Amino acid sequence: MKYQIRKSVWESNSSSMHSLVVTKKNANVRMTQEEIRHEFYLDEDWYREHHKNDKKEVIKIDPWDNEFGRSPFNVLVTFRDKLAYAIAEYCGGNYTIQSYIDAGIRFNETFVPLLIRLTGCDEVEYGKEHCATFAIYSDVGGDYLDEVEEVDYQDLVLAGVDDDISKDDKIFGVYKNVAENGRPIEEAYFDVPDYGSIDHQSKGLLTGFLKSNNLSLEDYLVRKDIITIITGDEFSTFTDMVTCGLIDVNNIVIQYPNYLE
């Protein structure tokens, strides 16, 4: 006997379906430094006039959108869009103080020298931030608290910085609120870099694509024939565009992973 479990029921456990695509058009064509600088407006007259007294040429990375989930459908083609995706892959998805510190190190070691070389600028700054609250265990009396209660930012006061505060915490500043019921509750509230995030189903896709095709991060950023598709399995917009004939699969050299099979 067969039982029908569900019919026409919306799938709630949806997943992203990001893919890296290599096209026949612009095969191995790389963006020039002039084209990359143009995306940062570095050679525009108004930009030069506004920064004419600057001693160094600085580019500021501040992606307008760096959360890559299941929707909206998007095709990342420009240097800046692919850069935002790469930063989210290598540095994004942070939840702890240490993870933000580690992400900052990766950004400085991986992206800063690469961007300086590709743009010819002197310095790179990451300018997008967001506010985050982190719980810090108190060792008052020598015993760590079993749990830390969160409090509103308005209830926090700046704590005195002394030798009992770790070096990592000193980087951002430590805050705490007054004792509650005789038990100190500590919280840390920071402005942290917003490196973005990639849906967990697609996290690691970019690094896997580069490794399997023996490509570098620079290749991904500057090659015009490498693009990124953002969609989700409940939408499947890219495959629908192929099905209806809007996209010719003969122009696709590689799709990683290959959702077209």
For the chain, the structural domain boundaries read: 19-128+195-256, 131-193
Position 3, amino acid: Y
How far apart, in whole angstroms, are the C-alpha atoms of residue 230 and residue 259? 12
Mean pLDDT of all residues in 132-156: 48
Is residue 63 over pLDDT 60?
yes
Give residue 135's pLDDT: 56
Choose between 209 and 7: higher pLDDT: 209
How far apart, in whole angstroms, are the C-alpha atoms of residue 55 and residue 48? 12
- CA atoms within 13 A of residue 74's CA, in its CB half-sphere: 17
Choose between 158 and 219: higher pLDDT: 219
Give residue 95's pLDDT: 76
Choose between 5 and 94: higher pLDDT: 94
Give residue 214's pLDDT: 97
